[in-house]
Amino acid sequence: MTNAPDYGRAFAAWRKASETSWRDYTRHDFVNGLGDGTLPRANFIHYLIQDYVYLIHYSRAWALGVVKAETLDEMQLCSATVDALVNGEMQLHVQTCARDGISEAQLFSAAEEPENMAYTRYVLEAGFSGGFLDLMAALAPCVWGYGEIGAILANEGSSETYRKWIDTYAGDDYQTACVNVGKLLDQALIARLGDDFENSPSWPALCKKFETATRLEIGFWDMGMRGA
Ligand SMILES: Cc1ncc(CO)c(N)n1
């Protein structure tokens, strides 16, 4: 069993507060199928097309972080994340799909599954109606969950079939992004809620947003298992 990664204090606290959902997310059958190569290729491609659409809206939500930020550090983290998503992670999707004969135009215009729409619109709404921390609590399970899953599969995966996907999330660039998000979130929480942020009256509502987004990640994997 791989240990929890060290992405900081907020990560450890939120992860623990959502323990059961977090386990169901990071140890989902879809994840196991990526690790041992038993996930059917058709399910993977359907997932990847949906994930491309997901990342479009997820990038918009990080861009909203630039709007909601209150310090230059926060603006830098959010704008760097938009860059990493749009110019980095999404290339995996474009290249992998291109090898299966799916063009970028097809990816961009793919019909969005309800589970996909529910997740990204939930995150955007958390940002529209709330402050920077509300948005971050809803954005965080995506970043850190795939970081943890990448680390688990790099250690425990037994197949080469989905190696490129695994390496994207287990790799240094992505793991460094997880650590940087963790550092900045710890700072943002301390600046707004005080050093003892886990005991602030605002904390439970943030935990709830984190867990809701985690449940929506489980729904996203369920969608992937169901297939097209
Ligand atoms: C649904 C989902 N969650 C997290 C990530 C990681 O960025 C992703 N690409 N897709």
Domain membership of residue 59 (yes or no) is yes
Q: What is the Cα 203 distance to its own chain's centre?
A: 21
Locate 148 and state its tokens: 């943890």
Residue 160 has, within 13 A of its CA and on its CB side, a CA count of 0
Output the tens digit of pLDDT for each of the chain's 228 residues.
567 999 999 999 999 999 999 999 999 999 999 999 999 999 999 999 999 999 999 999 999 999 999 999 999 999 999 999 999 899 899 999 999 999 999 999 999 999 999 999 999 999 999 999 999 999 999 999 999 999 999 999 899 999 999 999 999 999 999 999 999 999 999 999 999 999 999 999 999 999 999 999 999 999 999 988
Domain span including residue 192: 9-226
ipTM for the complex shown? 0.97
Domain membership of residue 176 (yes or no) is yes
Which CATH number characterizes residue 210's domain? 1.20.910.10
Residue 194, C-beta contacts closer than 8 angstroms, at least 6 positions apart: 200
- Sequence length of the chain is 228
d(CA 82, CA 99) in angstroms, rounded, equals 25
In 102-168, DSSP assigns E strands to none
d(CA 46, CA 49) in angstroms, rounded, equals 5
- Mutate which of 217, 223, 225 for ligand 1? The one with the most ligand atoms within 8 Å of its CB, which is 217
| Residue of 125, 120, 135 lying closest to 70 (CA atoms) | 135
Q: What is the pLDDT of residues 165-188, one digit of tens each?
A: 999 999 999 999 999 999 999 999
Domain membership of residue 101 (yes or no) is yes
According to DSSP, residue 3 is labeled P
The response to whether residue 142 sits with its C-beta less than 6 Å from ligand 1 reads: yes
Q: How many domains does the chain have?
A: 1
Domain membership of residue 1 (yes or no) is no
Q: Give the dihedral sign, CA 75/197/146/2.
A: positive
Locate 111 and state its tokens: 């019909």
The response to whether residue 11 sits with its C-beta less than 6 Å from ligand 1 reads: no
> Is the entire prediction scored with pTM above 0.80?
yes
Active centre residues (catalytic): 142, 217
Residue 173, C-beta contacts closer than 8 angstroms, at least 6 positions apart: 84, 88
The response to whether residue 62 sits with its C-beta less than 6 Å from ligand 1 reads: no
Domain membership of residue 84 (yes or no) is yes
Domain membership of residue 32 (yes or no) is yes
Locate 101 and state its tokens: 């004969």
